[in-house]
Amino acid sequence: MNDMDVRLRWILAIALTSIVLGGTLDLATDAPTSWLSFHAVFELLLVAGALLMATTLWLGWWRSVHSAIALQHLLEARTAERDQWQERVQQSLSALGTEIDAQLRRWRLTDAEREVAMLLLEGHGHKRIAALTGRSERTVRQHASAVYEKSGLAGRNELSAYFLHGVASRRSSA
């Protein structure tokens, strides 16, 4: 709740309290001979209206404060949930990267071939890999061919499928 809201609440509370107290005091000091006179009925309605408005505003403020608190708790819970999910994903991706690198090493790929293989797995094309690694496109194609030959795979699709097949199988059986 900002300062303007607090200030407005106090102003309205003071105004409505003044109306209730002033109307009640005025009605008591007038000591009307008949409670059905216009003046008495008008002041009673004024006091009742101010009380009704004060009660309505208070209930609305109370609900909004509790709603804001509930939303804050929900936001904190969702933030914690998101943070836990991101941590699990990061751990999974790290483990996957480690396993991919271990397999690329078992295929006896050179450092340059492993780098090209990882970039191929990320979905980059030969031109983009050349730009990212500072190699010529021809050199990147040669490294890619070496990756496919040493791994016994036919190309980029089989390379991706080799590492993602287990993930896709688990996803389709879930």
- pLDDT, one tens digit per residue, over 138-160 is 999 999 999 999 999 999 999 99
**Tokens representing 40?**
């008495």
Mean pLDDT of 12-39: 82
Higher model confidence: residue 74 or residue 27?
A: 74
What is d(CA 21, CA 122) in angstroms, rounded to the nearest whole number?
74
CA-CA distances (angstroms) from residue 73 to 6, 46, 63, 147? Answer: 22, 40, 15, 51
What is d(CA 113, CA 136) in angstroms, rounded to the nearest whole number?
14
**Tokens representing 141?**
């194609």
pLDDT digits (tens, 9 = 90+) for 91-141: 998 999 999 999 999 999 999 999 999 999 999 999 999 999 999 999 999
Q: What is the residue whose two structure tokens read 């941590």?
A: 87
What is d(CA 153, CA 144) in angstroms, rounded to the nearest whole number?
11
Q: Does pLDDT of 174 surpass 70?
A: no
Q: Does pLDDT of 16 surpass 80?
A: yes
> Is the full-model pTM beyond 0.75?
no
Neighbours of 151 (CB within 10 A): 19
What is d(CA 140, CA 79) in angstroms, rounded to the nearest whole number?
42
